[in-house]
Amino acid sequence: MKQFTKRGHIVIERVEPEIDCGRFRAKAVVGDRVEVTCDIFRDGPALMSAVLRYRGPSDSKWQEAPMHHLENDRWYGSFRPTEIGRYRLTIEAWPDSFETWRRGLLKYAEAGADLEAELEAGALLIEARLKGVPAAPRSVLKDAVSRMRAPSATISGAEGLDPRTAPMLSDEVLTIMRTHPDRSGATAYRPILEVTVERERARFGAWYEFFPRSTGTPNRHGTFRTAATHLPRIAEMGFDVIYLPPIHPIGTTNRKGRNNTLTASEGDVGSPWAIGSTEGGHDAVHPDLGTIDDFDEFVSEADRLGLEVALDFAIQCSPDHPWVKEHPDWFHHQPDGSIKYAENPPKKYQDIYPINFDTEDREGLWSELKRILDFWISHGIKVFRVDNPHTKSFHFWEWVIGELTTEHPDLIFLSEAFTKPKVMRYLAKLGFTQSYTYFTWRNSKSELTEYLTELTTSEMRHYFRPNFFANTPDILHEYLQVGGPPAFKIRLVLAAMMSPSYGIYSGYELYENTPVRHGSEEYLNSEKFELKVRDYSAHGSLVPYIRKINDIRKKNPALAELTNLRFHTVDKDNLIAFSKSSPAGDSILVVLNLNPFNWEEGTISVNRSLLGIEPGRPLEMHDLITDATYTWHGDHAYVRLDPAEPAHIFQVRG
């Protein structure tokens, strides 16, 4: 019977990070400290030892890091991955016979008991290990055995203890025995867990979205070449990633006119998301933008300036897409046989056909979609913003991201899924590198505190990487519509300081905030349906402030992390304070006025332990926005912030 054949006494459970019983992988970045905690306990009184075992993609064998007992049977271990790719990890624990004997011997010695039998037992334990110990430490152990077996009168020891216990008290002997343990009776945790280790840009970066077609002159379509002239401007603002909406040919059937009207007028350019025409599909570029060679030059110029190009991957088609004729079975059909256009009630997208992932030709569809991604990867693209992935097959995303990142571990996929929380989390588990979030709709102090606490302290912290976009072509929140320039500064500081990855859509720096109508989050004269030529050199723009914020981000490593965010108490609802600190000792404290209409004053209570600063020491607060320096005494400070300058971003020194 099975119960009579089971062996082992040790239980390993409640392992973190373990996502859905090991079904999914946690995420990390090269150089991170990957921290693993678990409960380890056993029946009986024996002490235990444990190691964290891990293996990188290039490792020929498993490596080990010690695990340390914390309290209440909780254990901790960590390692730093040195390459991108999938790491495997497990935990191994075993009864530590030497440590158990050592603890017992000490208790017997302190009680004045006879130690003959215990000393001999210890000597035998040490002798059993000698074969596996190198020559130099082996001689130390042999000497210890001799001392333990010597008549007590021939050696001297600590007062009150049998001198033969000296080897037991020796740190040198203990270190050797720990380095060469007897792992008989060991238990290894199952299943073996995995961690996806990625490059730094997977977690940290500032994104800028713009339409290349709007970089021409009024009524003249921009090109990749005119778009390239904007790259120095974007780089100078301190952005890392430039995200381009779809750059493919746009259909003419049911083309939308300006402001999403159902009838296009002559010269209307249509929505870039209505992908495909007689000029090609997802692997073609719009002829008015230029050629694929022009695109390659654009990518090369961006790379020269330290910018990465992110492409939109939108799995949908205009009625003119080549797939409509070549693969009609890839689409949804009405009862009369016609292809059904896309809907997201109350929105209707008459110019777009969604893909049917339940097609009988699933293999053909999936292979074609991967081929398209492979095509753009071959043209230097490593970052993809994926449009509405929650409306496509979960199984497809897990497969295609898994296949592509196995071949190209440096790829980044941003999930644009504004949907139900569990669906957003599941997409992140399936392999999406980053995720759009509810940040846009979190504006009050309580909303921000609750949401960021969830992102940084729940299980989500292991796999969900937020990208805080302050606005998008689809989302102009009421806060920006009514709050004027102060609102734009406030939301920029929140996005850039709270999240390692954040983004803005062009026009943000010019305070564009006119909705199509009251109560709508759509822009009037939306760039989604027309060319929009802007004067980015306009006096009074937000450009200098954006440049300052991005410079602060790059110079302060603490801001490249997410889970180090901590809130500090402020006695006013319209004032919020939070900090980030790094192991290197740098700390940033942000105090922000959330009221774009009036100044706010209040008292902040600084939690020094969150900043790693000893009690009682004065705090030197260097404001990185104004370059002013203040000295705070005690744990409370008065702050007053005007909407025009709504933020203190302090570099804290104690």
- The Cα-based distances of 464 to 240, 421, 424, 459, 494 in angstroms read 20, 11, 9, 9, 19
Question: Residue 216 burial by CB count (10 A; 0-12/13-18/19+): exposed, middle or buried?
Answer: middle
Residue 334 CA to chain centroid, in angstroms?
A: 41
Q: Is the CB of residue 269 less than 8 Å from the CB of residue 318? A: no
Q: For residue 489, what is the enclosing H or E element?
A: helix 478-498
Task: Count the residues in the chain.
Answer: 654
Q: In sequence order, what are the residues at sequence separation of 6 or more whose Cβ sits closer than 8 angstroms to the Cβ of residue 409?
A: 57, 84, 85, 198
Look at residue 412 and give its three-state secondary structure: strand
Bridge partner residues of 501 (DSSP): 205, 467
Give the integer Cα–Cα distance in Å for 437 and 450. 14
Looking at 112-197, list the stretches that DSSP marks H as alpha helix, in order from N- to C-terminal side: 116-129, 135-149, 166-169, 171-179
Half-sphere exposure of 14 (CA within 13 A, CB side): 10
Tokens representing 36 are: 């693993």
Active site residues: 387, 416
393-401's contacts with Cβ under 8 Å and 24+ in sequence apart are 393/357, 394/426, 394/427, 394/430, 396/357, 396/366, 396/369, 397/427, 397/430, 397/431, 397/432, 398/430, 398/431, 399/366, 400/366, 400/369, 400/370, 400/373, 401/430, 401/431, 401/432
Three-state secondary structure readout of 608-624: HHHHCCCCCCCEEEEEC
